[in-house]
Amino acid sequence: MAESRSLPNILITGTPGVGKSTLCQQLVERTNFQWLEVGKLAKENNCYEEFDEVYRCPVLHEDKILDLMEDQMTDGGIIVDYHGCDFFPERWFDIVFVLRTNNTALFDRLSKRGYSGKKLEDNIECEIFGTIHEEAIDSYKKDSVFELSSNSADEMDENVEQIVQWIEQWKQNKM
């Protein structure tokens, strides 16, 4: 429950390539929060159900990953980073940020990452349709979901500042 947390929990989500890891990296340098990379945790603990042949990637075993995360989420101070958001319990998060990037920039970033064909097209489409934002709106209280534009380094800096300020405000309100 949010009231029992000494620090808030934050979810950073969005299509692959929008800048979640970069933002989280900068946030841990500025705060004493812990960065929980769901993809990395899944890999380390083999939390997969099957292999998706179309996308050439394993499918997350959601219940297994949630069990692994539960204890860490209790005290707060966690920044969760994942490209999906509909399977986490709503109670875990005090705020949800959905990063957004324009098609051209995202296309370049994902191409550089080695994405091509259907995988590239589907991720670009996901971003154009605002799929993750919609998922966030459907999964969390509307007034706790915020879109952040992440097209440039300047916008990245602004986003870091905004989140650091939000954390400070949360602490003030808690006192």
Name the residues that contact ligand DAT, by CB under 6 A.
Answer: 14, 16-22, 109, 150-153, 155-156
For the packed helices 20-30 and 153-174, what is the interaxial angle rounded to 10 degrees? 50
Question: If phi over 0 gives left and psi between -120 and 50 gives alpha, with beta otherwise, what is residue 79?
Answer: beta
Whole-number minimum distance, CB 80 to ligand DAT, in Å?
12
Whole-number minimum distance, CB 161 to ligand DAT, in Å?
13
Whole-number minimum distance, CB 13 to ligand DAT, in Å?
9
Whole-number minimum distance, CB 120 to ligand DAT, in Å?
13
- Residue 8 or 14: the one with the smaller Cβ distance to ligand DAT is 14
- Residue 22 or 34: the one with the smaller Cβ distance to ligand DAT is 22
* Number of CB atoms found within 10 A of residue 57's CB: 12
- Residue 65 or 132: the one with the smaller Cβ distance to ligand DAT is 132
Long-range contacts of 112-115 (CB under 8 A, 24+ apart): 113/16, 113/17, 115/16, 115/17
Residue number of the CB atom closest to ligand DAT: 19
**How distant, in Å, are the alpha carbons of 34, 131, 168 from that of 30?**
11, 30, 12
List, edge to edge, every strand of the sheet that includes 145-149: 34-37, 78-82, 10-13, 95-100, 145-149
Whole-number minimum distance, CB 2 to ligand DAT, in Å?
26
Q: How far apart are CA 68 and CA 40, in angstroms?
A: 12
- Residue 34 or 151: the one with the smaller Cβ distance to ligand DAT is 151
- Residue 72 or 149: the one with the smaller Cβ distance to ligand DAT is 149
Whole-number minimum distance, CB 105 to ligand DAT, in Å?
7
- Residue 107 or 140: the one with the smaller Cβ distance to ligand DAT is 107
Name the token pair of 158. 């602004």
